[in-house]
Amino acid sequence: MGCGASATKYEGETSQEIGVGGGAGMSHNANKIFDVYLVDKKKLGEGSYGTVSKCVHRTTKVTRALKTIGKKNEKWERFKQEIDLMKKMDYPSIIKLWETFEDSQNYYLVMELCTGGELFDRIVKEKKFTEKDALTVMGQMFRSVHYLHSNRIAHRDLKPENFIFVDEGPIATTSMKMIDFGLACSYTEGQILKTKAGTPFYVAPEVLSGKYTQACDMWSVGVIMYILHCGYPPFHGDNDQEVLNAVKRCDPKKPVDFPARDWKNVRQEAKELILKLICPDPRNRFSAKECIDSPWMARASSAKNQELEVTVADNIFDNLKKFRLLNALKKQATYVIARELGDKQIKELKEVFMKLDSDGDGCVTADELKAGLKQIKSLPEETVQQILSGYDYNGNGAVDYTEFLAATLDTKHFNEDQTCWLAFSKFDTNGDGKLSTKEIAQVIKDEPDVRKILPGDDSAVDNIMKELDTTGDGFIDFQEFLAMMREKRNKEE
């Protein structure tokens, strides 16, 4: 599978680095990076944008990746565009960007640390790759691309190097993340893109002509799927130009071959899906949603998923109901905590979200919630709408990934002082260790990463103060904040 190692981009420079992804609620931290994180001097990687190191949060002790970019970098303006895109992303299969820092010399990105390695490197290391593994890998890939396209974002450089595993667990049960949005762009419906971008083995033929759409991503995914099943690419050449020429000459009637010696054990449904992806006419190429709904992907359903739905959904339903009754401050604190949790800590909730999100667009609608839980509970439409109205921060009629996590977290996460302190600090903007009425309202107003959930009138904030300020000094200190976080979600239970 050495073919996946070619990292020559059709536009831009080779970049061997830790990938950067995104996450809704990503904040710009006004503090100094070295006051908040202990940074390892050893570099994990170095690329065209900057260097990557490990860092440890001084309060929570969580280990993350820190990307440092010099402001004098000639690609600085382009990098800022990439950050703007990453701020919009909030999905389980896309790597998370937690927060950014800045000083006179550098810009710093704190992001999820993934240690499981790149897709192809991992498969080579495992020396075994089953159909179950392929279904798991491609399922996550299809969903992440569908999420991007649902939000009008084209990646434009999908390749094996841009999918990495969270850890070194079994492929079939380990999360995989999409990374590196250096060539990604936003687009409008029907917009024709013109910038030639991509990597030779995976670039779509229409990109080479400089007239294409987001469908170019699906061609790249098809090439990856082809290689996963046989170990070599569908288009060959001794150098990049020969590979590109082979892509240009692709036969519309028979774009790829399936040599019997390598494909005899591959299911026909998988071959048919590959042909729907490596399709020279982008108008006839499958979308990510069509891939998710394909006969081959239908095999991904398993008894384990059904068991998960039965054993976890009851608890989640109860948490959803209780979350609706929280005061605004606690809702926001819960959101902050949810955003800070690592992949392992929310593994079950992530799997349930993926199952509820039946169309894979990164949001759970009232209909999806009702359909996903009806096997466990009989939910009246009115109840579902009440639940949604209580934790849909952005008011779009559906629930995004981090919103879902915030609404369904187990209360054990609120018993950790360090985790709660992190949330408290978000509100304590002047760092004096206490929250004023003005401070609570101001942080909601000024912070772009904080969901604007408090009503505009002062009475809402005043009511929170009356409820939580047990000492009557006009402030909420950390102990009062802790008491709020550790109360039962529903005082009436």
pLDDT in tens, 308-360: 343 444 556 566 666 655 666 777 777 777 777 777 777 778 888 888 887 77
Predicted local confidence at residue 188, as pLDDT: 94
Residue 285 sits in the same domain as residue 340? no
Predicted local confidence at residue 212, as pLDDT: 97
276-283 average pLDDT score: 96
Selected catalytic residue, list 90, 157, 392, 428: 157
Max Cα distance, the chain (Å): 79
End-to-end CA distance of the chain: 57
Q: With left for phi above 0 and alpha for psi between -120 and 50, is residue 435 left, alpha or beta?
A: beta
Share of the chain above pLDDT 70, in %: 77
- pTM, entire model: 0.76
Q: CATH code at 345?
A: 1.10.238.10
pLDDT digits (tens, 9 = 90+) for 231-263: 889 998 888 899 999 999 988 889 999 999 999
| Domain limit, last residue, from 59, 76, 111 | 111
Token code pair at residue 137: 């890998």
Per the structure, the complete domain to which residue 314 belongs is given by 303-485
Residue 277 sits in the same domain as residue 309? no
**How many independent structural domains does the chain possess?**
3
Residue 217 pLDDT more than 50? yes
Residue 281 pLDDT more than 90? yes
Q: CATH code at 62?
A: 3.30.200.20
Residue 391 pLDDT more than 80? no
Q: Please give the single-letter amino acid code of residue 2.
A: G
- Range with lowest mean pLDDT among 12-26, 170-184, 272-286: 12-26
Q: Is 12 contained in some domain?
A: no
Predicted local confidence at residue 185, as pLDDT: 93
Q: Distances from the Cα of 30 to the Cαs of 189, 431, 450, 460, in angstroms?
A: 37, 11, 15, 27
Residue 190 sits in the same domain as residue 207? yes
Burial class for 293, CB neighbours closer than 10 Å (0-12, 13-18, 19+): middle
Query: Distance between CA 184 and CA 9 in Å, rounded?
Result: 13
157 in catalytic set: yes
Q: Which residue has the higher pLDDT, 72 or 456?
A: 72
Q: What is the mean pLDDT of the chain?
A: 79
Burial class for 260, CB neighbours closer than 10 Å (0-12, 13-18, 19+): exposed
Residue 313 sits in the same domain as residue 326? yes
Predicted local confidence at residue 426, as pLDDT: 74
Strand ranges inside 179-256, DSSP E: 185-186
- Report yes or no: 171 and 129 within 8 Å, Cβ to Cβ: yes
CA nearest neighbour of 328 among 117, 171, 484, 143:
484
